[in-house]
Amino acid sequence: MRIFCIANQKGGVGKTTTAVNLAAGLAQVGKRVLLVDLDPQGNATMGSGIDKRALPLSVYDVLLGTAGIAEARQASPKGGYQVLGANRELAGAEVELVDLDRREKRLKSALAEVRDEHDFVLIDCPPSLSLLTLNGLCAAHGVVVPMQCEYFALEGLSDLVNTIKQVHANLNPDLQIIGLLRVMFDPRITLQQQVSEQLKAHFGAKVFDTVIPRNVRLAEAPSYGQPGVTFDPASKGAVAFVEFAREMVKRLG
């Protein structure tokens, strides 16, 4: 079982879209995937076709230790993967976790129990360095960083890189950056091409080959309760995410 966080401290950069569509893409190439929604907004849950307002059990119960993942996860109806869902209740976990034992390792321990049941676990992180994100980073082998090729992109990245270094040094020696994924890319915009080149110059092989284009079908899919990958498999965005799933599998051997 390989565990990855989809993380970036900025909001609206494409984390959830990446988590949901990578999950569907990996499922499509035959992998058994669990998507963990660690954001109280519950967008990954809804985007997987699961009503966040009607979750019998969620990642909140798992973090507090009142339920196991095996009983709390459910299948995404169209996605082909399992989901450990989240909703607003999760926002309270932040406070409740503080007094608990091994508070940043709760998700890691819970995942150990379903070790043999999934090939990949993808964790959709909230846009902050909270105790929730810390649980994701402590559980993971690696981080996938979606980013838009915009002017301030590199600047924001240094915060994330520092955070990952600190977690690596203090809490999780396994943790590494698997790669940077260029998302919402529009090749007609010169600035995006320039930032993309800067990224490659600076991070080299850590930049994934696959580029996710800006594609309206990816943005429409959540309102139909499914990943873009299954909603419109022929769309450019869907094709790119399946390609990215293949690249992940290849890169990880």
Sequential DSSP letters for 163-216: HHHHHHHHT-TT-EEEEEEEEEE-TT-HHHHHHHHHHHHHHGGGEEEEEEEP-H
| Closest to 243 in 3D by CA, of 217, 221, 212, 216 | 212
Among 6, 7, 13, 15, binds Mg ion (CB under 5 A): 15
Straight-line distance from the first to the last Cα atom of the chain, in angstroms, rounded to the nearest whole number: 13
> Three-state DSSP class for 36?
strand
> Three-state DSSP class for 126?
coil
Residue 17 interaction partner, one of ligand ADP, Mg ion, none, beta carbon < 5-8 Å per kind: ligand ADP
Residue 194: CB minimum distance to Mg ion, A:
27
Does position 10 bind Mg ion by CB under 5 A?
no
Q: In this structure, are residues 100 and 64 in contact, taking their beta carbons and an 8 Å threshold?
A: yes
Does position 45 bind Mg ion by CB under 5 A?
no
C-beta closer to ligand ADP: residue 15 or 31: 15
Residue 71 CA to its chain's centroid (Å):
21
Stretch that binds ligand ADP, among 8-16, 23-31, 69-77, 98-106 (CB under 6 A): 8-16
Residue 58 interaction partner, one of ligand ADP, Mg ion, none, beta carbon < 5-8 Å per kind: none
Stretch that binds Mg ion, among 38-46, 130-138, 197-205, 232-240 (CB under 5 A): 38-46
Residue 2: CB minimum distance to ligand ADP, A:
21
Give the footprint of ligand ADP on this chain (CB under 6 A). 11-17, 43, 127, 183-184, 212, 214-215, 218-219, 237
